[in-house]
Amino acid sequence: MTFLRKPRSRTAAFLPLSLLFLKILQPGHSHLYSNRYAGDKVIRLIPSTEEEANALKKMCHQLKVDLWQPSSIFHVSKGAVTDVHIPKNGSQVLLAFLQEANIQYKILIEDLQKTLEKASSLRTQRNRRYLSGYNYEVYHSLEEIQNWMHHLNKTHSGLIHVFSIGKSYEGRSLFVLKLGRRSRTYKRAVWIDCGIHAREWIGPAFCQWFVKEALLTYRSDPIMRKMLNHLYFYIMPVFNVDGYHFSWTSDRFWRKTRSRNSRFRCRGVDANRNWKVKWCDEGASMHPCDDTYCGPFPESEPEVKAVATFLRKHRKHIRAYLSFHAYAQMLLYPYSYKYATIPNFSCVESAAYKAVNALRSVYGVQYRYGPASSTLYVSSGSSMDWAYKNGIPYTFAFELRDTGHFGFLLPEMLIKPTCTETMLAVKNITIHLLKECP
Ligand SMILES: *[C@@H]1O[C@H](CO)[C@@H](O)[C@H](O)[C@H]1NC(C)=O
Ligand SMILES: *[C@@H]1O[C@H](CO)[C@@H](O)[C@H](O)[C@H]1NC(C)=O
Ligand SMILES: *[C@@H]1O[C@H](CO)[C@@H](O)[C@H](O)[C@H]1NC(C)=O
Ligand SMILES: *[C@@H]1O[C@H](CO)[C@@H](O)[C@H](O)[C@H]1NC(C)=O
Ligand SMILES: [Zn+2]
């Protein structure tokens, strides 16, 4: 169960190095997450007609597959694809159906348990190479991230102030890190949240990276200095704290919050469908067992309510809302819930265009960008639309790397390149909103 950075045992420190290596390379008989993904597959579905898409939709509903992003919910028109995580007992049925119906598909992950264990055995080796200092190139548990925030609050009080905006369903504090040079004069602000969806671990890693870069380059980089002198950044590294914790301890692919439902045994609400903007309409589900469940009412989730309350209170000076998700390699802006052009479209569009160009300039990684509805899919009740509707003029959602090769299991080796390129995009958007546009 535990594959964190903790030493395996006290005696491990005294074992000969070679033995230690063997121990690390062969995780032995204990399986992560109780071996629950043994034999599960991740399959990319590529329907080419409406009939095929509809048949797949029905099939996937019956088999209760777990939809992975980038999920077009089977819109064929854009040539989009859908990745699904299918349990072992359903994969035979699905594969037989795909072959019978002659629908195109590709198996992305043959055995999810094996892939997961391989990824985490690599993690164990990497972690051991960094015993001193803070390692930003590994995924951190919730406890580690919260300790890190408290540490920075103590050691960097000139630029950082950490506070709580409320409590999660399970009673955990919802910490926000305020970053920027303190000033008596009026300052505009940028809100950044990561980890609305629990399994998207690259999100919190990016939030931490952003803070690290800010502290490291504040003195040497004129752009960063300008950002921190002229703006406050409110950064919430883990929005969905309960879900994130659960994704470490029990189900790596958990997405929702962890709230209970009075009538169903299924737990959790999609924290990105729970906002009061066209709530529970297209692209959201009313069924508590679905991954896009909108909740019993808007802001039913304490995490959503806490952030909405904070944003409402500070909306006058918050100029931008940035939300980090994975995976799809996209930079999205409103609307999510309808096909329509936002007012001041050209300002937002040009910010996005420049940001994806800046991102691509580092390693050549391509991001698609555009309104969420037409670029990804229609979804109602999202935080981005809500922030926009509540007067924040620049609202974006990033879907970070990759496009499905590793999916949610993006290796730690890719944290650094992913965050480095994303950093450039965020700086670009920030400078853009300081300089141009309203
Ligand atoms: C697979 O197993 C789960 C629980 O073990 C069950 O709920 C589900 O109906 C099964 N699916 C199929 C297609 O047999
Ligand atoms: C952060 O530090 C300040 C003092 O500088 C303290 O008042 C505050 O309670 C700290 N935040 C948290 C969450 O502990
Ligand atoms: C933003 O990106 C554009 C290219 O897309 C570049 O010309 C510009 O210099 C960048 N600005 C900043 C502040 O990084
Ligand atoms: C659009 O821009 C104008 C100024 O150019 C500004 O007054 C207005 O508030 C902006 N609207 C939105 C929705 O951002
Ligand atoms: Zn997400």
Residue 31 has pLDDT above 60, yes or no: yes
SS3 call for 294: coil
**% of the chain exceeding 70 in pLDDT:** 88
* More reliable by pLDDT, 185 or 21: 185
Distance from the CA of 142 to the center of ligand 2, in angstroms?
A: 19
Residue 179 binned pLDDT confidence (cut-offs 50, 70, 90): very high
Predicted pLDDT of residue 4? 36
Encode pLDDT of 302-336 as tens digits: 999 999 999 999 999 999 999 999 999 999 999 99
d(CA 177, CA 154): 12
Would you say the CB of residue 409 lies under 6 angstroms from ligand 2?
no
Residue nearest to atom 10 of ligand 4 (CA): 344
Distance from the CA of 102 to the center of ligand 4, in angstroms?
A: 50
Would you say the CB of residue 344 lies under 6 angstroms from ligand 4?
yes
Residues ≥6 apart with Cβ < 8 Å to 55: 47, 101, 103
Would you say the CB of residue 122 lies under 6 angstroms from ligand 3?
no
Residue nearest to atom 9 of ligand 2 (CA): 163
Q: Taking the alpha carbons of 172, 30, 128, 120 in that order, is the dihedral positive or negative? A: negative
Average pLDDT over residues 295-305: 98
Chain centroid offset of residue 363 CA: 21
Predicted pLDDT of residue 13? 38
Residue 254 binned pLDDT confidence (cut-offs 50, 70, 90): very high
Average pLDDT over residues 57-77: 76
Reading the block at residue 392, the tokens are 């924040």
Residue 3 binned pLDDT confidence (cut-offs 50, 70, 90): very low
Residue nearest to atom 12 of ligand 4 (CA): 393
Residue 14 binned pLDDT confidence (cut-offs 50, 70, 90): very low
Q: What secondary structure does DSSP assign to 66-78, as a single string?
A: EEESS--SS-TTT
d(CA 320, CA 433): 8
Q: Is 399 a catalytic residue?
A: yes
Atom of ligand 1 minimally distant from the CA of 90: 13
Distance from the CA of 60 to the center of ligand 1, in angstroms?
A: 13
Among 81-95, 128-142, 239-253, 320-334, whose mean pLDDT is lowest? Answer: 128-142
Mutate to test the pocket of ligand 1, among 41, 59, 65, 89 (most ligand atoms within 8 A of CB): 89
Residue 11 has pLDDT above 80, yes or no: no
- Whether the CB-CB separation of 260 and 267 falls below 8 Å is answered with yes
Q: Which ligand is nearest to the CA of 320?
A: 4
Residue 77 binned pLDDT confidence (cut-offs 50, 70, 90): low
Average pLDDT over residues 234-255: 97
Residue 78 binned pLDDT confidence (cut-offs 50, 70, 90): low
Among 26-30, 296-300, 429-433, whose mean pLDDT is lowest? Answer: 26-30
Distance from the CA of 341 to the center of ligand 3, in angstroms?
A: 24
Distance from the CA of 147 to the center of ligand 1, in angstroms?
A: 40
Predicted pLDDT of residue 298? 98
Q: Taking the alpha carbons of 387, 388, 393, 399 in that order, is the dihedral positive or negative? A: positive
Residues ≥6 apart with Cβ < 8 Å to 437: 344, 347, 348, 351, 393, 394
Residue 47 binned pLDDT confidence (cut-offs 50, 70, 90): confident
Residue 50 has pLDDT above 90, yes or no: no
The catalytic residue among 52, 117, 213, 399 is: 399
Encode pLDDT of 362-419 as tens digits: 999 999 999 999 888 889 999 999 999 999 999 999 999 999 889 999 999 999 999 9
Predicted pLDDT of residue 120? 84
Read off the pTM. 0.89
Residue nearest to atom 5 of ligand 3 (CA): 354
Predicted pLDDT of residue 72? 54
Encode pLDDT of 116-140 as tens digits: 998 888 776 665 444 447 899 999 9
Predicted pLDDT of residue 6? 39
Average pLDDT over residues 80-106: 92
Atom of ligand 1 minimally distant from the CA of 62: 13
Would you say the CB of residue 178 lies under 6 angstroms from ligand 2?
no
Residue 49 binned pLDDT confidence (cut-offs 50, 70, 90): confident
Atom of ligand 4 minimally distant from the CA of 393: 14
